[in-house]
Amino acid sequence: MKKFFIVLVATALVVAFTLPASAATEFNFYGSVHMDTLVTDTDDPDPLVRDTSPLTWDLSTGNWSSFGANWRVDENLSGQVEWRSGPGEAYIPIAVGGSEMKPYSWTGTYNFGFATLRLGRWWAPSFNPPPAWMVDTVGNAIVTVQEPRIALENIMVGPVKFQITGMQAGETAITQMLNAAGNVVASPIWGGAVTEQKMPKLEARADVKFGPVAFVAMGGYYSYDMYSNASNTALSKSVDSNFWGAIATLNYGPFAFRASWISISNPGPYGAGAGAGNGVITNVFDPADNDIIDVDRDIWQAYATYTLNPMISFNLIYGHQKDKLSGGGVDAEDPTSGWTFTVPINITQNFTVRLEYSKKDYEDFTVDNVSTDEGDVTKYGVRWIFFF
């Protein structure tokens, strides 16, 4: 780790000193260190599973430690690179931790006046910059794909600002299916399937603001082809998925409110398969007609913030997620809800101690009207954050 940081800083300094003099004045480092000291209390309804309350003492997996640099060549051309803690470039940060710094994003932008062109690699969806909205309030990643992409941003049409993004596809062959008992098994037909991209993954966003009230509408679509020659039978199929969402915010004195909603059809093919509850599989076939089983995911969340003074604020967050599957003779529903209460205390401009208490209720996983309680997870403790 020490060797990595020495190489990283040396590389950044070389870049800084080799830039033109005008650009060097715009060059800056930034970063943060996030440390979790949290107790995770797991209440499992299965009597054969021991309830646990381990202490987490590690770099945060929800608000990630980072190191990056911004530079501006002129008034139009700029760039950015960033590393974050985690096990890899395309990692799912809420699901797995890790203390190694890995490439997270690198972009270049050019301002044409009527729009800004951005090229590079950063997290999807484009409307969802981390960490504030990357993780929903019940603790699951909404969309966790990090792909090379091209975007046109800051397109103004009257009071509305538009953003359009096209990105590299991340398609995978769907080789599982549900059997008559509702269990996931390997598909004998699609076991050797291959995929073929036929379009970029597309996303769009529109922002409008009226005084203290702001609205965002967004959507995305993706489709690719899949082929299989198993059992001497040549098959092909188009895999389609999409999402729609909206965000509304209101700022009123020391109070701030935000409500958001997102609905994803076939979240696995879109790249949002991670974050399903404990039961709904998002990448499977219906063996009856060999079609993709339609999985729908709906997430809504509400935030309320009260700022007492520049040092202390209070935040209450509630969210609900529901995954629904219907196909292969199986109907399944997996809802999850949760709430979080945090008190960030800004000790200095660069040091924040955040007190936190959260509870996640997996509710009941229901298959063909038979429900199973999945238990609760409670977390409480302190997150320590340095900014530089």
pLDDT digits (tens, 9 = 90+) for 8-26: 444 444 444 455 544 445 8
Range(s) of the domain holding residue 176:
2-387
Count the domains in the chain.
1
Q: What percent of the chain has a predicted confidence (pLDDT) above 70?
A: 76
Summary mean pLDDT of the chain: 79
Confidence of residue 159 (pLDDT cuts 50, 70, 90): very high
What pLDDT score does 180 carry? Answer: 73
Which SS3 state, helix, strand or coil, does residue 362 take? coil
Model pTM? 0.81
What pLDDT score does 17 carry? Answer: 47
Least confident of 233-237, 305-309, 342-346: 233-237
Q: Is the pLDDT of residue 143 over 90?
A: no
Give the count of beta carbons closer than 10 Å to the beta carbon of residue 159. Answer: 9
Nearest CA to 143 out of 246, 263, 63, 315 is that of: 263
Distance separating alpha carbons of residues 229 and 189, to the nearest angstrom: 8
Helix (H) or strand (E) holding 226: strand 213-228
pLDDT digits (tens, 9 = 90+) for 31-53: 988 888 988 888 766 666 666 77
Q: Is the pLDDT of residue 4 over 60?
A: no
Which SS3 state, helix, strand or coil, does residue 200 take? coil
pLDDT digits (tens, 9 = 90+) for 188-229: 888 888 888 888 889 999 999 999 999 999 999 989 998 887
Q: Is the pLDDT of residue 347 over 90?
A: yes
What pLDDT score does 100 carry? Answer: 66
CATH number of domain containing 281: 2.40.160.10
Confidence of residue 128 (pLDDT cuts 50, 70, 90): very low
